[in-house]
A and B are shown apart, each in its own frame.
Chain A
Amino acid sequence: EAQVTQNPRYLITVTGKKLTVTCSQNMNHEYMSWYRQDPGLGLRQIYYSMNVEVTDKGDVPEGYKVSRKEKRNFPLILESPSPNQTSLYFCASSTRQGGENTIYFGEGSWLTVV
């Protein structure tokens, strides 16, 4: 079954304590992205990756880091979380091969920074 898996699904953390949200996909997709969802703002892209070792900023990259060392994984790193990073985070993967052009989303990770 095609899946994008995020962990943890729910996390409460304190300001300044580094955390990583993992994302893994089993579809051999070359593209992966992170989005955050905030009330009244919809989803906004944080970072994306077009393939291994290729990443680029999205619309709201400040305060986040990513890496793409393997094709299937795309972790989101918050080096020093702040309360304004409290949000619902979605990982996504997709491919352009075969004209697919459909983005698959994970189930989301609820992050609260206190």
Chain B
Amino acid sequence: AQSVTQPDIHITVSEGASLELRCNYSYGATPYLFWYVQSPGQGLQLLLKYFSGDTLVQGIKGFEAEFKRSQSSFNLRKPSVHWSDAAEYFCAVGARDTGTASKLTFGTGTRLQVTL
């Protein structure tokens, strides 16, 4: 069974500083990997996804993530954080054999606070 660990429950960064949110997964093969963002009171917005190919994935809002097979990680990065990035971020993994269509397994989320 797949699982996802987001070790940081809460992170605070200053506006303009760089950001890295950690995500580690457990899965027997190469999974499908996703990052979603949820603003307060809102639904889930897909930031980026990795299926195959280039291990550095570009997403929306200036985010990127790098798939590192050797470390079973898919960390999310942004070079310069904006106050509007304050939200909760979820990493998710989908099984490659059945496709993500049937199920995503989510991490517990990291809440990002941005100070001005």
Q: A interface vs B, CB < 8 Å?
A: 29-31, 33, 35, 40-45, 48, 50, 58, 90, 92, 94-96, 99-103, 105-108
Residues of A within 8 A of B109 (CB): 42
B9's nearest neighbour on chain A, judged by CB, is A40
Interface size in chain B (residues, C-beta < 8 A): 25
Residues of B within 8 A of A30 (CB): 101
Asked whether B103 lies within 8 Å of A45 as measured between CB atoms, the reply is yes
Residues of B within 8 A of A42 (CB): 4, 90, 106-109
Q: Give which listed residue, B92, B101, B105, contacts A31 with CB less than 8 A.
A: B101
Residues of A within 8 A of B108 (CB): 40-42
Count, A-B residue pairs, CB within 8 A: 63
Asked whether B44 lies within 8 Å of A105 as measured between CB atoms, the reply is yes
Beyond known contacts A30-B101, A45-B104, A101-B51: 9 more, CB 8 A cutoff: A35-B106, A41-B108, A42-B90, A42-B108, A43-B106, A44-B106, A101-B94, A108-B42, A108-B44
A49's nearest neighbour on chain B, judged by CB, is B102
Whether a CB of chain A sits under 8 angstroms from the CB of B28 is no
Asked whether A107 lies within 8 Å of B43 as measured between CB atoms, the reply is yes
Residues of B within 8 A of A92 (CB): 104
Nearest chain A CB to B39 CB, angstrom units: 12
A52 to B102, CA, bound (A): 14
CB contact list, B74-99 vs A, under 8 A: 90, 92, 94, 99
B52's nearest neighbour on chain A, judged by CB, is A99
